[in-house]
Chains A and B, each alone.
Chain A
Amino acid sequence: MPDYRWPEREKRRLIGKRISRVDGPAKVSGKAKYTYDVKRPGMLYGKILRCPYAHAKILSIDASKAERMPGVKAVKVIQDPGTEIFWAGDEIVGVAAVDETTADDAIRSIEVQYEVLPHLVVDSDPSLAGDRLRPSAEEVKGNPERAFEESDVTAEGIYGTPVITHCCMESHGSISEWNEDKLLVHISTQAVSSISDAMAEALKIPAGNVRTKMDHMGGGFGSKFGPDRWGIETARISRLAGGKPVKIMLERDAELTVAGARPSAYARVKVSARKDGTILAWDSESWGTGGIGGGGRPPLPYVFDIPHQRIRHMSIINNIGSARAWRAPNHPQACLITMGALEDLANKLEMDPLDLVLKNIELTGRRSTVYEEEFLKAAELMGWKEKWHPRGDKTKGPVKRGLGLALHTWGGRGHGSNCDLTIHPDGTTDIKLGTQDLGTGTRTVITITAAETLGLPMSSINLMIGDSLFPVSGASGGSTTVGGVSSSTRRAALDALSQLFEKVAPALNAKPGDLEAVKGKIQVRKDPSRSLTWVEACKSLGGTPITVRGQNPGPGRLASSGVGGVQMADVSVDIETGVVKMNRMVAVQDCGLIINPKLAESQCYGGMIMGIGYALYEEKIMDPASGRMLNPNMEFYKLAGNGDIGELVVHMMNSDEHDGRGVIGLGEPPVISPGAAISNAVANAIGVRVPFLPLTPNRVLEALAS
């Protein structure tokens, strides 16, 4: 049995090198086909009529005009009269027509009568929620009451971050078509292997009758795991249209209204310490919403295991679209609340917050030495000790500068993954996995791993992903993909190689165990002059290919979990206009063995930028009167642009200790700290806490006025 390990560092030819992503040329040339780009023969365009009310009962639906319209091929009532609707934007009727304009006209011709019911869409003030509150049980550890009494300093504050949306560039959507009782689905998804099962269950057909395909996807960030109601209805509408392909991609307003919501989280926090900075006690009452299904619960206090604590949380059940996992679910919220409270505590202690976290670093548990090392590195890269000043920049002029910090953690253990690898007698190598590339670089990671293991150039690997016919691989969520697919691929390649060695050993007059695959050759380890080229070696297969399946989890230690990272932000705030400007941000991040530093850094930059977005700009603004989202577009749902992010510095922790742990996922961790680090930097600059994100000019000015 092969030894399932990663090659030693000095022997790695491709792993750890700055390799460009293999699908880069397709993406820069417009050749990469996303679900949005797929056009099937005879395809119809679908549109959905959505409920304009946040809470209502459907009284009647008259779609007869739409049915009579030339070019309209199917009209499908999705929710019947009598149904109670719980959020504005919910699906009522779907149509399919020969082109989009006809489908639009058909949607506009449909008349629906509603009984409008009372709604609640606010979430920042639980006193307005009435009976829509769902409190969790109080959790107590130690003796918080006594600990607060014994403390020298107690800081109190309120912190929060609103519901934000995923705002994927490629909206949700799919194309469904029937061939008799077989369904083919092209869909933008983070879970190619499981969509078929979800569709089949909803449509009550055998799972084997559904095939799901996707070559490329334009972002998911946690919002694209399931087929969603509109995806399932696409298949039903196709059936009504005689099985013709029906494509429904969400319009931007629907995308922002119903297809992405990260729960809000707000908290009143009390945290205390001894005069020397030893943190003693924590008390928090938090609340937030994830819509009608309730929301997640921020893990408070975050990372720091404060010895005495009392935690209470309330979910507010309100009439907005349901929550979805958003990159590092619940962590950014918990980080903002905890690191904000600790920064306020440091201020009260008249301590540098860096000194406060280092003094209490042991409360971070088993990764405390990593955090310490990371903070010291970040401080060096930021010039923290030179630039930090006590709260409130005392320099003249309206522009105040400040620094803030935060830390985060994530699991990132590789998911279940199956990889089929075939070595053909002609020397070609095929790899198939039912995985997908979210933008992480999945194709590149698999190709690097296989080529490294087989001693071949990357160009000789023929990789196929994005099809439910391929071996099941996990959903791309929770930073689990790179760990999962690299491990299953490594095992498959090692197993295949081991079989190949068996075949060619006699020809080299050696034992299989004495062979190695290097630079396109199979050679005797101790006598490389005895070798066969890869193609010669594969000829010895005698016409029968080798096919193996590598799996994760499996033997050997290729992947593990648990990373820590820290970030520091440097901002300027104009106290006359309230505008916050990012100057610089530093991220120091641990992620185990790094398959491709170029892609790993991209993940960090991306996380930091997305973090700057929710820290400064992003908010799903709900209108309490109408119950609708007020900014379901990209003009007023603002993402950070190139000019908004300042300079970003990423430093990956890559010592033998980190490397030796194997591959750990990296997608989520870097997006956790920015909100807290930036919020703390603004407090440091202007001398007061701006309680809620995003740190918009009016919130900054309000905080200054108070």
Chain B
Amino acid sequence: MSKDNHSKDQGSGLSRREFLKISGLSLSVPLLTGGRTLKISGENVTVYGPGKSPVALSVNGKTYKVELEPRVTLLDTLRQELDLTGAKRVCDGGTCGACTVIIDGKPVYSCSILAIDAQGKEITTVEAMMEGDRLHPIQQAFIDNDAQQCGFCTPGFVMAAQAFLREKPHPTPEEVKTGLGGNLCRCGTYMGIRAAIMQASKG
């Protein structure tokens, strides 16, 4: 099942990522592929790794099969295995929102979920926002209101905006301030983003 490349100890202490790996292991949700089922404390637990395991992901309506170590995040998988680089790695710790994707309709920080745990779910990335050459009204609103400068955080904002507007199609300006609070921008485009959300909400 796995190429036993580096099964050695990963060093002492638990990083956030390591912790996620462990919490991933302890989940007893049924996973689609690759894992071994062990009985732990009387319960069936699916165990992955330590080497690479086959992982199947449904992204933008397409199924991708890749070989991954269990510790690899969904974000890194999207970017490095699937060449979907719209989601960006910035804080790598669930704070800034630059890696926001939509999973089963909910906005998720893709740096904070392991790829193996994203199996069986419908993942939507910014690459699916355009229909052919046609920009989504939210994207157009971002352009119209210059809700971007360097643009590195922009795809994450676009995804967060889409999830937010789906939840609240006609927000008040106050709701926009808090509703987009999970994404950070260093260039300072919040005024444009507020205006963009209000424009898109009217569309």
Contact = CB atoms under 8 A, between A and B. Distances in A.
Interface of A: 20-21, 23-34, 36-37, 39, 69-71, 99-102, 105, 108-109, 167-171, 216-219, 221, 251-252, 438-441, 598-599, 601-602, 605-610, 633-635, 639-643, 645, 648
Contact of A218 (B88, B181, B188): B88
10 contacts: A29-B86, A39-B80, A70-B5, A108-B11, A170-B152, A218-B153, A251-B92, A634-B95, A635-B95, A643-B181
B92 A28 contact: no
B127 A29 contact: yes
B110 to A, nearest CB: 13
Contacts of A27: 148, 151, 154-155
Interface residues of B, number: 62
Most buried by A among B72, B89, B144, B146: B146
Most buried by B among A20, A25, A30, A167: A30
Contact of A609 (B84, B129, B190): B190
B178 A34 contact: no
A385 B143 CA distance: 37
Interface in B80-98: 80, 83-93, 95-96, 98
Given A24-B142, A607-B188, A642-B180, A439 B151 contact: yes
B202 interface: no
A169 B143 contact: no
Interface of B: 5-6, 8, 10-11, 69, 71-72, 76, 79-80, 83-93, 95-96, 98, 125-127, 129-130, 135, 139, 142-144, 146, 148-155, 158, 176-178, 180-181, 183-194
Contacts of B139: 25, 28-29
B185 to A, nearest CB: 7
B187 A20 contact: no
Contacts of A39: 80, 83, 85
A371 B140 CA distance: 38
Contacts of A599: 146
Given A30-B87, A219-B150, 9 more contacts: A21-B146, A21-B148, A30-B155, A70-B6, A108-B10, A169-B185, A218-B150, A633-B93, A642-B177
A169 B180 contact: no
Contact of A252 (B90, B149, B158, B176): B90
A639 B186 contact: yes
Contacts of B85: 30, 33, 36-37, 39
Contacts of B135: 25, 28-29
B151 A218 contact: yes
A208 B116 CA distance: 46
Nearest to A34: B152
A440 B93 contact: no
A594 to B, nearest CB: 14
B80 A99 contact: yes
A260 B77 CA distance: 29
A605 B192 CA distance: 9
A28 B188 contact: no
B91 A633 contact: yes
Contacts of B184: 169, 634, 639, 641
A24 B143 contact: yes
Contacts of B80: 39, 99-100
Contacts of B154: 27-28
Nearest to B177: A643
B169 to A, nearest CB: 19
A108 B93 CA distance: 20
A218 B152 contact: yes
A101 B72 contact: yes
A32 B139 CA distance: 14
Nearest to B96: A634
Contacts, number: 183
B101 to A, nearest CB: 11
Nearest to B86: A30
Considering the complex of A and B, which 6 residue pairs feature the smallest CB-CB distances, nearest first? A30-B86, A218-B152, A609-B188, A439-B150, A27-B151, A606-B188
B91 A439 contact: no
Contacts of B96: 169, 634
Given A71-B5, A102-B6, A634-B90, A598 B146 contact: yes
Nearest to B127: A30
A187 to B, nearest CB: 15
A633 B184 CA distance: 13
A369 B92 CA distance: 49
Nearest to B129: A29
Contacts of B187: 169, 219, 439, 606, 610
B77 to A, nearest CB: 11
B78 to A, nearest CB: 10
B188 A605 contact: yes
A12 to B, nearest CB: 20
Nearest to B69: A101
A169 B6 CA distance: 32
Most buried by B among A32, A39, A599, A610: A32
Nearest to A606: B188
Nearest to A169: B152
Nearest to B5: A70
B60 to A, nearest CB: 11
B146 A23 contact: no
A634 B156 CA distance: 16
A169 B186 contact: yes
B126 A221 contact: no
B88 A24 contact: no
Most buried by B among A27, A69, A71, A610: A27
B152 to A, nearest CB: 3
B61 to A, nearest CB: 16
Contact of B190 (A217, A439, A642): A642
A610 B150 CA distance: 14
B130 A642 contact: no
A47 to B, nearest CB: 13
A415 to B, nearest CB: 19
B151 A605 contact: no
A410 to B, nearest CB: 17
Contacts of A171: 90
A192 to B, nearest CB: 15
Contact of A610 (B95, B129, B188): B188
Nearest to B193: A642
Nearest to A23: B151
A28 B135 CA distance: 9
Contacts of A605: 188-192
A99 B67 CA distance: 12
Contacts of A36: 85, 88-89, 152
A31 B76 CA distance: 17
Contacts of B188: 605-610, 640
A373 B64 CA distance: 62
A260 B187 CA distance: 15
B6 A71 contact: yes
B14 to A, nearest CB: 13
A150 to B, nearest CB: 45
A36 B150 CA distance: 13
A25 B143 contact: yes
